[in-house]
């Protein structure tokens, strides 16, 4: 499946790798721009530039912000959705091949957590506000040649993420941190760092409902 936004950026839903590829209007390709649910078969874009995929094998819709931050299970659908579309109000619809139904996901300015209400022919999902959970699997990789630490993490299981905030401590001062930095991706590099020093990296997720608990990782730079 393929879709184009108002700025002529092209997006493809890659069912074999559970990802979305973004091709900018200049032809720059980010083959794994965002991660989706299992087997995305449909893709659509709202007026704000948010991308939605219908995930056939996980019965979910993934929402991806313009910054590439994905909420893989943003809403629950009927069985085996194959297509996704939006109306003029931003309401999301999926065609569910496995259930012979249409799921309607009501647009909201709040952070979406789906609460399905089933009827014989139509499933309506109403999002409600909730701050995100903590990030998981925080890791740090040291690049000696460039004297930088590359941190990576996995999105929270619960709650929509608008952005991540990261910071690093001062050498050998685990309670003295530099200012928070914002990023839309699940990775961040800190450089230049001093050799043979101990640092702590902290990451938290945030949205308009609040901030998650902080996840920390302590490491030592090698010479």
Instruction: Give 113-146 pLDDT, tens digit per residue.
Output: 444 444 445 555 555 557 888 998 999 999 999 9
Residue-number span of the structural domain to which 55 is assigned:
2-125
Could you say which of 73, 105, 125 is where a domain stops? 125
* CB distance 39 to 56 below 8 Å: yes
Could you say which of 95, 125, 155 is where a domain stops? 125
State the Cα–Cα distance between residues 193 and 170, nearest whole angstrom. 10
Does residue 82 have a pLDDT over 80?
Answer: yes
Is the domain of 118 the same as that of 164? no
* CB distance 74 to 60 below 8 Å: yes
Is the domain of 86 the same as that of 111? yes
Beta strand spans in 87-197 (E): 92-96, 101-105, 116-118, 122-125, 136-143, 148-154, 163-170, 173-177, 181-183, 187-190
Q: Tokens standing for 104?
A: 């309607």
121 or 41, which is more confident: 41
Does residue 22 have a pLDDT over 50?
Answer: yes
Task: Tell whether 130 is covered by a domain.
Answer: no
Q: What is the DSSP letter of 201?
A: E
pLDDT at residue number 124: 56
Task: Tell whether 169 is covered by a domain.
Answer: yes
pLDDT at residue number 208: 83
Highest mean pLDDT out of 9-23, 99-113, 156-170: 9-23
């Amino acid at each position: 499946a393929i879709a184009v936004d108002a700025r002529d950026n092209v997006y493809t839903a890659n069912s074999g790798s559970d990802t979305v590829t973004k091709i900018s209007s200049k032809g720059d390709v980010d083959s794994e721009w965002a991660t989706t649910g299992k087997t995305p078969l449909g893709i659509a874009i709202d007026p704000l530039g948010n991308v939605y995929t219908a995930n056939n094998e996980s019965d979910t819709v993934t929402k991806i912000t313009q910054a590439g931050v994905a909420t893989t299970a943003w809403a629950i659908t009927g069985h085996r959705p194959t297509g996704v579309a939006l109306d003029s109000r931003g309401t999301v619809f999926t065609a569910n091949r496995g259930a012979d139904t249409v799921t309607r996901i009501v647009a909201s300015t709040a952070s979406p957590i789906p609460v399905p209400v089933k009827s014989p022919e139509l499933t309506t999902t109403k999002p409600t506000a909730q701050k995100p959970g903590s990030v998981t699997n925080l890791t740090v990789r040291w690049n000696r040649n460039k004297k930088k630490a590359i941190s990576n993490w996995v999105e929270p299981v619960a709650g929509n993420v608008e952005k991540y905030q990261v910071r690093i401590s001062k050498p050998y001062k685990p309670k003295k941190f530099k200012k928070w930095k914002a990023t839309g991706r699940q990775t961040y590099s800190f450089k230049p760092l001093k050799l043979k020093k101990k640092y702590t990296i902290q990451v938290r997720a945030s949205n308009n409902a609040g901030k998650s608990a902080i996840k920390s990782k302590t490491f030592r730079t090698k010479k």
